[in-house]
Amino acid sequence: MADLDIEELGRIRITSVSRRPEPASHATAAVFVITREDIRRSGASSLPEALRLAPGLQVARVTARDWSITARGFAEQSPNKLLVLVDGRAIYSPLFAGTFWDVQDVVMEDVDRIEVILGPGATLWGSNAVNGVINVITRSAADTRSRLLAVHAGTAEHLNATARYGTALGAGGALRVYGSFLDRAPSHLAGGELGEDDWQQGQGGFRADLDAGSRDRLTFQGDLYAASGSQDVRGAVLGPPFTRVVDDELDTHGGNLLARWSRSLGEASDLQVQAYYDRSIRKLPSSYGRIAVDIADIDMQYRLPLSRRHDFVWGLGYRINSDTVSGTFPTALVPGARTTHLVTGFAQDEIELSPERWYLTLGAKLEHNDLSGLELQPNVRVLWLPAAGHTVWSAVSRAVRIPSRLDADVRFVTQVLPTSPLTIVRVDGNEDFESEELVSLEGGYRVLVHPTLSADLSLYYGWYDRIRSITPLPPFVQDGNVVQPLRVDNDARGHAYGGTVAATWQPHPALRLQGSYTLLKMAIQPTDDAPPGSFPNVNPGYNPEHQAALRSSLNLPRGLEVDLALRYVGVLPQPRVPGYAEADARLGWSARPGLTFSLVGRDLLHAQHPEFWSQPQREIQRRGELQLEWRF
């Protein structure tokens, strides 16, 4: 994708919006594609850093290893309304309702593209695809039949090294294996001292793609990882001083294995079956204790044209989640172990109303989960192609976030008050917690103004209901102490609206400029029938109202490349985190084919600054990095 012009970028085939290949310019959703070349030119060393390239996403670094990434609001330290997939494997945690970004060490050099959908994607991808979907798609083993050594070393990321070997496998297959190691320095606290959040991770894996006949394709891939780092844990204790900060260690390891079979049944018809198993273990001695999660998933989809004017796709899926949490004081899940089941089915039909002009898409997903029961998530999408280079689309969708163990089973002591007897303030889960709901109205317009200039506008309004809330209950006596329970409920509602505009201009074949602006307005309040004292467990103050970005990529003679990026993020109102502007820069040199050196600077405008609220407040420092990529 290195030499694609703007018209060719619009014709990139994506699959995340309709689960079939289609040009990005014709998608009936706010979708942006981060290409392999975009990632390389940005110098991104991690998946979260690469996601900064997507207009409309909220990407904030919380600590040296933790990120808050979401779309269209509802930011938290672990946002729960954004579904993330890597090669079709969901990395959204069903236990904690979020993504552990610290262990997502994807080999960036092997990513083909990242498809980012802003807005609901639940009809095809299921519950938890509420405010967006991120689909990371890696290159096939056939495209990586070479050797790779990539080394990044710098002031904050001391070392990030990857070695990969690819080879042919039989007459029609290919295999790649890789290993990587990461050593990341801790962030800084507001006073300048180190933040006790360093991170070291080792990982290895493989991918094999095989031709099993003229129509069949098999893929097998898997990863194993182990990581650890320091952390400060603040928690309540049953005695003076009633709260303490512990220097703790986070240890985690896990792995996954995926198999996929696809069969071509014709030009517009295919069948795919995919299954994966994922196991992860996290040890947090001073908070949750030992956490073990096992996920097994199988999914089938079948695409067939019902007639010349109907492109129909349907599928079935089953997932089993099993977890055990040892728990500590002050945090536990009750019961300590639970197994849940998720059964899904979806169908979607794209109907050509007028040849190459009007299209109507009707779809729905039906799911059953053990915590909230049956869920229906439909959508209606309309596409209008008024003229060459012009796309108008609109959509109405319903999506839900199904309950997690943190909603149903949590027992979390927030504080111990030194009364006589002691008063324990505790958040209790709710077995009757219902799915959070979004009904969204969206629309957008894409235009190729000139072969050198394109623009993309998307607008939305979302109505949220049954949002997570906290309800105080009457106190009671337990083990000689007074317990003040706070129950997790669904007694909040609200709305969010805004939009994103993005443009790409290529005034010269050697120069490309990209800019974007995102507006977000959000309000959450208790429902009219909420119990007295109830309050939303969602903080709109974690979300910036304004975001803007500008990037330039310039090719110079003798293999030199210059890339600059500016971004502005508005203030986070409460707890207040100041708005900021930052700059990144990259100077790259292709010494010879396959060998590239880069000098990358990040957050160059400030020595250090906060991007998100944390306790204690951590700040992201200015950093530099030297990168080597050698393909041979």
User: Where do the domains of the chain lie?
Assistant: 6-631
* Secondary structure, 3-state, 564-578: EEEEEECCECCCCEC
Percent composition of the chain: helix, strand, coil (DSSP 3-state, to 5) = 5, 65, 30
* Tally of CB atoms within 10 A around 52: 20
Supply the CATH classification number for the domain 6-631. Answer: 2.40.170.20
- In the chain, what percentage of residues exceed pLDDT 90? 88
The model's confidence at residue 505, banded by pLDDT at 50, 70 and 90, is very high
Question: Is the pLDDT assigned to residue 464 strictly greater than 90?
Answer: yes
The model's confidence at residue 332, banded by pLDDT at 50, 70 and 90, is very high
Question: Is the pLDDT assigned to residue 2 strictly greater than 60?
Answer: no
How far is residue 293 CA from its own chain's centroid?
A: 19
CA distance 500 to 445: 11
Tell me the mean pLDDT in the region 184-190.
92
The per-residue pLDDT for 28 is: 95
The per-residue pLDDT for 246 is: 86
450's CB contacts (< 8 A; 6+ apart) are none
Identify the sign of the CA torsion 49, 50, 53, 55: negative
- In the chain, what percentage of residues exceed pLDDT 70? 100
pTM: 0.96
Query: H helices then E strands: how many in the chain?
Result: 5, 41
